[in-house]
């Protein structure tokens, strides 16, 4: 991927090609890059790797103790831990995910994420096209 934009805030960064018939991504390189930028020192930072109207892939790196407070999405999600260990919590349940583990979550369920160790995880968001709930932004 090549950088096309400039950073404007502490959580934003340059992005590359986000859509193509076939995208090839080096997750280890992307994790290293996010950590080398230093923005994750604030607790966490993220980079959108793929952005389609019905699918989004976001790589997130999180420091030990970093938190993403209550939030939700209109699409179903999966969270796959690539490195470290995170705690994923809803009002009803809390799950600790180590590297190699993943979960799925129904849409519109508020949740928190906390870094138990320095971690990296891949967030996948899928919006149902048939229901007309797609995201272009």
Q: Where are the domains of the chain?
A: 44-126
> Which residue did the predictor score with more confidence, 31 or 1?
31
Q: How confident is the model at residue 1 (pLDDT cuts 50, 70, 90)?
A: very low
How far lies 5's CA from each of 8, 15, 38, 70, 111, in Å?
A: 9, 6, 18, 29, 30
Q: What is the pTM of this model?
A: 0.83
What would the mean pLDDT of 46-54 be, rounded to a whole number?
Answer: 94
Phi, psi dihedrals of residue 27, rounded to the nearest 5° = -65, -40
| Three state DSSP letters for the chain | CCCCCCCCCCCCCCCCCCCCCCCCCCHHHHHHHHHHCCHHHHCEEEEEEEECCCEEEEEEEECCCCEEEEECCCCEEEEEEEECEEEEECCCCEEEEECCCEEEECCCCCEEEEECCCEEEEEEEECCCCCCCCCCC
Structural fold of domain 44-126? Jelly Rolls (2.60.120)
> Which residue did the predictor score with more confidence, 2 or 79?
79
pLDDT of residue 27: 96
Q: How confident is the model at residue 37 (pLDDT cuts 50, 70, 90)?
A: confident
pLDDT of residue 38: 76
pLDDT of residue 59: 97
The answer, yes or no, to whether residue 23 has pLDDT greater than 80, is yes
> Which residue did the predictor score with more confidence, 13 or 49?
49
């Amino acid at each position: 991927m090549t950088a096309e934009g400039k950073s404007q805030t502490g959580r934003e960064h340059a992005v590359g090609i986000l859509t193509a018939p076939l995208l090839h991504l080096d997750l280890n390189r992307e994790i290293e890059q996010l950590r080398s930028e230093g923005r994750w020192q604030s607790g966490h930072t993220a980079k959108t790797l793929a952005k389609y109207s019905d699918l989004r892939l976001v790589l997130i790196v999180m420091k030990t103790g970093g938190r993403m407070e209550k939030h939700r999405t209109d699409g179903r999600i999966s969270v796959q831990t690539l490195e470290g260990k995170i705690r994923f919590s809803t009002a009803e349940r809390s799950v600790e995910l180590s590297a190699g583990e993943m979960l799925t979550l129904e849409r519109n369920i508020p949740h928190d994420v906390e870094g138990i160790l320095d971690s990296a995880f891949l967030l996948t968001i899928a919006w149902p096209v048939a229901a007309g709930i797609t995201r272009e932004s």
